[in-house]
Amino acid sequence: MVWFFLALTAAFSIAVRDVSIKTYKDLAPPEIAILELFWALPYFVLGCFLVETPPLDQTFWWTFMLSIPINILAYVLYLYAIKLSPISLSVPFLAFTPAFMILTGFFILAETINIWGGLGIGLIVLGGYILHFKKNQANFFAPFAAFLHEKGSWYMFIVAILFSFAAVIGKQAILHSSPLFFSYSFFLVFNITVLSGLLLVRKNDWRKILHNTPRGMWLGSLLMIHISFHGLAIAISTAVYMVAVKRSSILFSVLLSWLILKEADIRYRGFGTLLMFTGMLLLTLFG
């Protein structure tokens, strides 16, 4: 059961990070990215030194390189989704990732689903509908219109699509290396790439790094906890079970957003999130 608590810790660290970002109202998404990625760098450098380098083949290198641009786009959209909309209307859409993985898994890994997988997808879609439902709402199509007008929701919907590709491609890279080696080496390259791009475009943001050191160290530490515990959990467990437990982060995020940020309509959003999470479990564990 050690893997369970490792995965749960990873999930909780994601939720705390989401809520922390939401409270930094004075910082734009690019500034948050610079802070988080800069202060996480020392951890990933140290991790690369401590983890043994396995034999690496051609498959590892092409999946590694392909993962970089996909994750960069997902990372940027994720930050904007958190900042633009309530957490309870954005983060739950990550539950769509396993639904989209049906397609990516079929074409890349030749994986298929059964009736439980279909039921899981139905619950995810229903949960997304209820998420945007409001009291005394007469129009059946109103939640769909609300979804389209809620930028954070459809940004995270796009992130779910991107994660479905990143998860399958990343799985290939892990199979051709090791979980911790891939995690640390990937995020070392990822952080340096994104930081370089942001600091070239936003040259004055070096001052943000120095003036917000406590926030940066906090976000960098949470990112390292997430990545490390994810790698440790997946190394000693069945990947599908580990990912299912880790996705409990959407429940933690919505709960913390209600307790700390006092987000409204928690009855519908909470129920919608629970349905989406249940559907994700059915799809992940039995589909």
Q: pLDDT tens for residues 80-129?
A: 999 888 887 778 777 777 667 666 656 655 656 667 766 777 777 677 66
pLDDT at 73: 95
The angle that helices 2-23 and 239-246 make with each other, rounded to 10 degrees, is 40
Q: Where are the domains of the chain?
A: 2-286
Q: Which two tokens stand for residue 261?
A: 């940020």
Task: Give residue 275's identity as a one-letter amino acid code.
Answer: L
Rounded to two decimals, the pTM is 0.83
Rounded to whole angstroms, how far apart are CA atoms 148 and 92?
Answer: 15
The string of pLDDT tens digits covering residues 171-205 is 788 889 988 899 899 999 999 999 888 878 766 56
Query: Is residue 181 a contact partner of residue 54, using CB atoms and an 8 Å limit?
Result: yes
Query: Is residue 272 a contact partner of residue 92, using CB atoms and an 8 Å limit?
Result: yes
CA angle centred on 192, ends 72 and 221, rounded to 5°: 85
